[in-house]
Amino acid sequence: EDIQDPGNLGSILRSASASGVDLVYLSDHCADLWSPKVLRGGQGAHFHLPCIEKAIFSDITKTFTGKIFATTLNGKSIFKENLKGPVAFIFGNEGSGLQSETLDLTSHIIHIPMQKGIESLNVSAAVSVCLYEKYRQEHFSV
């Protein structure tokens, strides 16, 4: 939701493509998907990963049949959630996180546990942690 930094968006797309994401929805106020910085950061992810711009999350969540996770600074640890099966993650803006209206659309509120003294991760790092935890659970769990 409203990812502002083109470098972050490019890195997010690259991680999404590498971890097997099927589709990415971008809200109306995200960085330009085709800007040079996004293309550079994505390293070709644009050509392997369908992206829908100006997505309206309330419309998407009405038809999505899986679990919808929102990342916040609190909530249940992502490492205690079952991420197998259809899952959607919603990540917030670098400065303000997710809007309360967006949080209301989700079924699960999660956070990424961190050592004391570290308040948050860069959004592209947080996306990578979440996507690869799902990947790990689906491909490497016992």
- Domain for residue 115, yes or no? yes
- The answer as to whether 1 is a domain residue is no
Residue 119, pLDDT score: 82
Q: Residue 119 half-sphere exposure, CB side, CA atoms within 13 Å? A: 3
User: Which helix (H) or strand (E) is 109 found in, with range?
Assistant: strand 108-111
In a domain, 29, yes or no: yes
pLDDT of amino acid 142: 63
**C-beta pairs of 19-22 under 8 Å, 24+ apart in sequence:** 19/128, 19/131, 19/132, 19/134, 19/135, 20/135, 21/49, 21/131, 22/50
Q: What is the domain count for the chain?
A: 1
With respect to residue 35, please indicate whether it lies within any of the assigned structural domains. yes
> Looking at residue 96, what is its pLDDT?
77
Q: Which domain holds residue 118?
A: 6-140
What is the per-residue pLDDT for 24?
Answer: 95
Q: What is the pLDDT of residue 112?
A: 93
The CATH number linked to 56 is: 3.40.1280.10
Find all residues with CB under 8 Å of 85, minimum gap 6, and list them. Answer: 66, 67
Residue 3: predicted pLDDT? 87
In a domain, 28, yes or no: yes
**Is residue 106 one of the residues assigned to a domain?**
yes
pLDDT tens digits for the chain (142 residues)?
888 899 999 999 999 999 999 999 998 889 989 999 999 999 989 888 999 999 888 888 888 999 999 998 888 999 999 999 999 999 988 777 777 888 888 889 999 999 988 888 899 999 999 999 999 999 997 6
Do the domain assignments include residue 97? Answer: yes
In a domain, 52, yes or no: yes
Alpha helices, H only, 25-93: 36-42, 57-63
